[in-house]
Structure formats: structure tokens, C-alpha cells
Chains A and B, each alone.
Chain A
Amino acid sequence: MSEQIIEIKDLWFSFNGQAVLQGVNLTIHRGDYLVVFGPNGGGKTVLLKLMLGLLKPTRGMIRVFGEPPGKAAHRIGYVPQNVHINKDFPVSVLDVVLMGCLRHSRGWSRYSRDDRAAAREALDLMKVWDIREQRIGELSGGQLQRVFIARALVAEPECLFLDEPMASIDTYGRGEFYELLYKLNKRVTIVTVSHDLMVLSSHVKAVACVNRELHYHDSGEMTQEMLDQVYHCPVDLVAHGVPHRVLLRHRDE
């Protein structure tokens, strides 16, 4: 078994007295490709933010690279759910990506040549180098998503968190996007959050179903049992172009 990079033990999180997560245990190893899956409001984003140290757990333990979350946040590349924030902001694509190189007490605010080279590489990889001079507000949703992933990748993270990455990418772009994540996964651990079954590419290695509680499945397969656990009602599995996936039909009553 490869090195543990994230370890969560008996994690509870409440917001305004309401339990959002209860008794969550999760271990993420280096090289994993984990999908955190569940309905809206089930606590997926909260789990991500707890691991990043943006939220504090009510109780329980989280270790990220052996440290409390927050301490190691700079080793994680984070792509937030809402890429449409501050669209009127006067900032170019290149400058947004360079924000990924920000670090504490650098002084006089200069980016190094290495930072710029890394930014170019990330922009190239995400195929947004050509629009680097454009203002962020001129971009389409799909382009924005790519820019935010480039921003997350520019600091060479060991782990990549993507919150609903498919939200802004049209159906045609998705296949290509899965390929990209697959390639990235060869050097980066990937955790992506989704409420959309379509996100399960065939390269996913594990699925964690989150609906207040977390159920871990260490294969990339989605089963009816997992769906029932999450939704507490019969839901059909629908997928296209993934031949090895089992699709269950509702039994005739």
C-alpha cells in the first residue's frame, strides 16, 4: 500500500447545530483517484474544505501530509466550485494562474522566472496559453474552469481537489477532460467532488459516497447499493460509453 497522504478519523462537523458530517473516516493514499459523490447538501464540499483547513471540525482528527489541515494546504491544488466569482475583476488569465505561485512573505511582490515558466506550462497543459492576456470576464465557463485548474496545478501540487469540475464544461469537453485527469493522475493524487453520476470516468479508482455519513468503496464502480445508501430512494444508474459498468434495471413490481 502506498503512502497515506490524508487521514480522517471520526470526523464530525455541525453548522448552526445541524450535523453536516458525522463519524467520517477516510484515508487517501498517494496516487489515488477518488470521487466524493453524493446529493447536493450532503456535505461533499464541506469535507473538502475541512481537509483544506478552511473549516474547523466540530470534533475528530484530520491529518494532511501528517500535519493539521491548513499547514499543508499549499501542497494541495484546489479548484473551487464557483469559478464565476468576481468576473468583473480587472485581472488577466496569466495573473490569475500566477496567483497559484503566491507564497507567504515573499516581499516586493515579484514572481520569479521559475514561476512564470510554471505558469506557461500549466496554461499550455490546459490549452489556455493563447488567451493568457485576456481579461477574466471575457472567458466562457469552460475556459474559466481550465484557467482555475491551471492555477491549481502551477505550484506542482501533490494532490488536486476539484469541486464539481464538470459544472462549467459542456458534454463534448468532458471526454477530453477525463483524459486529462487520467494523465494528471499519474503524478498527482486526485480528489473530485460530484453530484453528477456522469463524472465517474472509467479511470476512477475509488468512490466515497457522502450523505452526512461517508461510505467508502475502493473500486471505481458505481453500484445500486451505493446509490440507495446515498439517496435513500430508488435511483437509476445511467451511463454511456462505459461498457464494463453494471447498469441495474428497476425490477418490475
Chain B
Amino acid sequence: MWEALQLEFFRNALIAGLLVSIVCGMIGTLVVVNRIVFLAGGITHAAYGGIGLAFFMGWPYLVGTVGFSLLAAGVMAVVTLKARHRSDVVVGVIWAVGMAVGVILLDFTPGYHADLMSFLFGSILAVPKMDLWQMAAMVLIILGIVIYYYNDFLGLSYDDEFARLRNIPVTFLYCLLLGMIAVTVVMIIRVVGLILVIALLTIPPFIAEKVSASLRSMMILSAVLSALFTTLGLVLSFVLNLTSGATIILVAAIGFLAAVLWDFLKPKPALAKENGGGEK
């Protein structure tokens, strides 16, 4: 195990996992409490179009993918704000079209695409140092935005109507949130791959929500859990010689199962009785 730390690619993988965990904690929490998991899934899969575009044009992976998923997020922001009740259909369409565009663009790209699978299941063991710096910069930007607007995001997530009455720029913040989801998703694709993004984005906040007293502590606990899952998953995948992305998700899934079981088995507090009376 310890000899693994001597290897640069393994150290890079650990750092990438930790960086992604920080944003996962913040953005995953906001995705879960705003109930926009499906929307996040749509942005994730649309990002595949960006991967295809990056390959086709010969652009760096991050540029093409971030650009494309920001575009998808922009379209989804417009659609969900204008026609809320039918937005799920449009999200589903963008979800599929993004993937299809990606596949077709890769068809048009000459050469053999060996690492196509790596985008579906992650390529955390192949993160170059250069990408780490770019990821660190994106993490810092997202961290800054979330801290700066923390109370506004809290108000918007809890009761957007009331936040609007308090003159909080709800529409702007919603678009900003979708933009941050797009950037986050592209980073997570690096670690666990496109197919597993939603799991890493939602499992830690799901567990954290049960025990957190505030949105802030939910974000921090989610980030810690996420770091735990990615690190443990990486080590296990190295020791057992398994695909790293899938191992990380399985570790997270075991955590998820444990949390659900704990929730089911733990002694119920007496508040249920007191709570019943005022219910409509």
C-alpha cells in the first residue's frame, strides 16, 4: 500500500479525489436540497457531447467539456424557469441528445478511441499534474462563490418565494447554481466517470442530511464523506486491481446502505408523538 504513495499517478489520483470531494460536498448538497438531481443528471450526460467535441476539434478535454456542459446548463436554466411543469421532458431530451452528439462526433474523429471507456467510468489514475492545477482553480472559484452567497443560497433553497420577496436575485443565483453544477460535473467525470457522477454527487449529501443541523454542516460532512469514499475506493481498487471509479461508487453505496439501515434500526425519538397534532 505505502509503495503506492511513491507513485506520482497515485498521489495525483488522491489529490484529484480530495479536490473533487470539496466541490461534491457543496454542490451535491445544493443539488439534493433543491431537488434537482434529475437536472444534474441531464447536465452530466450532455457533457458527453462536450467530450466528443473536444476530441473532434482537438481541444483540451476540460475546455470542450466545460464549455458544452455550461451551454447545456444554460438551456436547462431557461427551460426550467420558463416552463417549469414540462421541464423534465426537456431535460430528458437534452440528456439524450448530448450523449448522441458525443458519440457521433467521436465517429467523425479519425483514429482509435481507446480511452472512450475512461470517460464513462473515470480515469482518476491518469490525471496529469496540469489538470490538477486547473481543478484546484475551479474548486477555489466554486468555494468562493458558495461562501459569498451562502445565506442567499440557503434562503433560495429553503423557500425561493420568500427569498424573492427579500429582493434576493433568485433567477441569477439559480443560473449560477446550474453553472457550478456543470463545472463540478466535468470534474467528477474525471474521477468516477460520467455514468457514476450522480452517485458521488448525491450519496454523501443524502447521508449527511440526516444528521446535519444546518446546510453548512451538511456541506462539510458531505465533503468529508466524499473524501472518505474516494480515498478508500482508490486504495481498494489499487490493492485489489479493480476499476477505480466503480470501486469508489461501490464504497459509497455501502456507506449509503449502512446509513439507510442505521436510520431504519435506530431507536425512534419521542418527537413523533408531539409532531402529530399540528399536522394538516
| A interface with B by C-beta (< 8 Å) | 52-54, 73-74, 76, 78, 80, 84-86, 88-92, 95-96, 98-100, 102-104, 106-111, 133, 135, 138-145, 151, 155, 167-168, 170
Contact = CB atoms under 8 A, between A and B. Distances in A.
A64 B152 CA distance: 25
Interface stretch (B162-170, B185-193, B232-240, B250-258): B162-170
Contacts of B217: 90
A106 B149 CA distance: 9
B149 A104 contact: no
B276 to A, nearest CB: 8
B151 A141 contact: no
A104 B147 contact: no
A138 B272 CA distance: 8
A107 B222 CA distance: 24
Given A135-B213, A141-B279, A104 B169 contact: yes
Contacts of A138: 271, 275
Contacts of A52: 165
- Most interface-central of B148, B158, B162 (chain A CB within 10 A): B162
Chain B binding surface, main DSSP class: helix
Contacts of A106: 151
Given A90-B214, A104-B168, A140-B278, 8 more contacts: A73-B166, A74-B165, A90-B217, A99-B162, A102-B163, A138-B271, A140-B275, A151-B162
B277 A170 contact: yes
Contacts of A103: 166-168
Nearest to A52: B165
Contacts of A102: 151-152, 155, 163, 166, 168
B165 A111 contact: no
Interface string B8-39: 00000000000000000000000001000000
B148 A54 contact: no
Contacts of B158: 86, 89, 91, 96, 99
Interface of B: 33, 147-152, 154-155, 157-159, 161-169, 209, 212-215, 217-218, 271, 274-275, 277-280
Nearest to A102: B166
A76 B167 CA distance: 12
B278 A78 contact: no
Nearest to B148: A108
A52 B274 CA distance: 34
Nearest to B219: A90
Contacts of A54: 161, 164-165
Contact of A141 (B162, B168, B213, B277): B277
B167 A111 contact: no
Given A111-B151, A167-B280, A170-B277, A91 B165 contact: no
Nearest to B208: A90
Contacts of B209: 88, 90
A165 to B, nearest CB: 13
A170 B280 CA distance: 11
Contacts of A92: 213-214
13 contacts: A85-B159, A90-B209, A92-B214, A99-B162, A99-B163, A102-B155, A102-B168, A103-B167, A103-B168, A104-B167, A109-B148, A141-B280, A144-B278
B280 A168 contact: yes
A86 B167 CA distance: 21
- Most interface-central of B149, B274, B277, B278 (chain A CB within 10 A): B278
Contacts of A104: 166-169
Contacts of B162: 78, 80, 99, 151
A100 B277 CA distance: 27
Given A91-B214, A99-B162, A108-B147, A168 B278 contact: yes
